[in-house]
Structure 1
């Protein structure tokens, strides 16, 4: 049975295919939740007079655009996860973004060959028990230290968040060291890897574990919770987390210019607008993500967690190692 949300997306997509391309409109396809994007999109229309026709899809975005072919109305794709945006490039449904504003605002490693551009960042960091752990900083490599044996919690290794993290570890240290690393993490685990990121905070509060890996936006969401999750937040302490030879691992929400964009100029305007200070604050604050525009210093995530220095390793290099990371998780029995 097709869900109503998908029927709505299909109907809207059909309307777009039938409609002519007017000068003052732009067509956006996105896998993000509408509530996260709409404030920034409404501001764009108000400030520029360009109407945004948005199609929100839970999945199947690439397949939809490929099926629509050269007549696809898609101008901009906006997705979460470096693997997904890189896959769109590999599928041949994007084109490079030529924009001085993009080049000025976004670091090169966060816009590989300008095939796509990072809009916001979510860091994957280490949190510890406020009561039982004194340190304030850590490297990802230190999680393999036997001192954490029986004290480490993490969600499943095959989850996309950890797949990207392990892929980054391979890119930094090579497959042999990464295999040893995953074995050491599994040996340190207090329980079978699984659950969600908020569950590791719960398990720190209960005393099951002392150290865990979590995406930063979950920390922000728990900080505002009106239920037991506020207690989980109060029990944890975020650590300054980096690779031993680099910065903090981040994943991204990103935008790409569709290969056959009928409103190309307006598409570039939308991407540039999403990088401006006004839109960055509106968009990033919706989910406690870090703005890619460093001029935005008072975002909700920065206020709560301080600034994050993203690892300088190009995210395209991370994406190349994702299959190897998935294979290693299976090889060492990480999720068993």
Structure 2
């Protein structure tokens, strides 16, 4: 490795260590296998990079506004060493997770990680084309749908139980094919100069009939999280009811945006009064502008509008060293990695001992639909056809 790369990796390590030290990360003795109790982007169609619609102002904005804190969980120092070469196909963008991947690699002198960054959908397609000849060991996805698609095609191998037990059962595949590493809740950003929390319906199906939203609410239908939300609506409410909802929202005068960060900013600016986004876009705007911005978060209850989706990882059937691959996934569940997700992306950590950052309810206080298996969200093709048929796309 040349001097330039060594310098870059050392800089990455220093940046990451500063964040980890500020967080007061502590490894909890005897917690290598946490139990199942407790709490349980990218244009998301792209690869979570500023060039894909993400403003640079949000990258890394979660690190400083909320002060130091102590973080529980299992530190990387308590995990098995990593040694060998590992090819990572990442549907999470380098701008958001490259620093974490580099930090993990930097901890182990005999580890080489070869990441390939692209959209999750394109990487799934690439894996399908490569078949048994794929060099990939681990697939890291921005959503559970892509992980479920690979599992359905028999392209994964089960993770060890000691890895699966890091997160509650509802955030991993029932058969152990994949595990969530961080989470995002569907939410409703609203402008506090226009609405109070009680003004926001607690059922997503009521939105097209809410006259207060007329010409004053936004969505981003090209986003994969929005499409997963509509997929959940199809599963929970049926295709005809979903069609009627999409038509009703258009009749209401919903405004279309290129990405969900734009929606959160538009709500804070008073351009629109409410929107449909993942929760962390709201927190990023607040981190940038201060908690005095007229922007708050509402959540619907036990329906498609309250879906809690996860970014996650799996070991592929082509992994040359499945033990190394599984232990790399384990490192994504370390105290350092979980705090990184909370501070850098404002996502929900999935390891119960690590709390989220920002003005957010805990995972236990959210009310996602009880009867939805996240693996079911892999059927995006039917959803895209419906969005096109209704004129949304």
- Scaled by the length of structure 1, what TM-score is found? 0.78
Please give the secondary structure, in 2, of the residue aligned with 1:262.
Answer: coil
Report the Cα offset of residue 68 of structure 1.
4.8
- Paired residue secondary structure (1:286): helix
Corresponding residue to 1:53 among 113, 119, 123 = 113
Query: The residue matched to 2:196 in structure 1 has which SS?
Result: coil
1:67 CA displacement: 5.2
Match of 1:30 in 2: 90
**Is 1:180 aligned with 2:244?**
yes
1:317 aligns with 2:376: yes
- Is the contact made by 2:203 and 2:301 (CA closer than 8 Å) also made in structure 1? yes
User: Are residues 1:235 and 2:297 paired?
Assistant: no
Going from structure 1 to structure 2, the CA distance change for 1:61 and 1:242 (only over 3 Å counts) comes to: same
Unpaired stretches in structure 2, ≥5 consecutive residues: 1-81
8 Å Cα contact 1:31-1:61 kept in structure 2: yes
**CA–CA separation in structure 2 for the residues paired with 1:68 and 1:199:** 36
Pick aligned residue for 1:307 from 362, 378, 381: 362
- Mapped to 2, the partners of 1:149 and 1:223 lie a distance apart of 23
Q: Which of these residues, 237, 257, 261, is aligned with residue 315 of structure 2?
A: 257
Gap change, CA 1:41 and 1:238, over 3 Å in 2 = same
Q: Distance in 1 between matches of 2:300 and 2:107?
A: 38
Task: Tell me the equivalent position of 2:35.
Answer: none
Deviations 1:232-268 (A, max 9, x none): 9813211133335x88312321101110211111111
Alpha-carbon distance in structure 1 between the residues aligned to 2:258 and 2:292: 17
1:266 counterpart = 2:329: no
Q: Distance in 1 between matches of 2:283 and 2:165?
A: 29
TM-score (norm 2): 0.68
| 1:222 CA drift (Å) | 1.7
Flag the structure with higher helix content. 1
Q: Which moved more, 1:98-107 or 1:172-181?
A: 98-107
Q: Distance in 2 between matches of 1:277 and 1:50?
A: 22
Q: How many pairs align?
A: 304
The alpha carbon displacement at 1:325 in A equals: 2.3
The equivalent of 2:186 in structure 1 is 124
Equivalent residue for 1:286, pick from 321, 344, 358: 344
Q: C-alpha separation between the residues in 2 aligned to 1:140 and 1:295?
A: 31
- 2:67 matched to which residue of 1? none
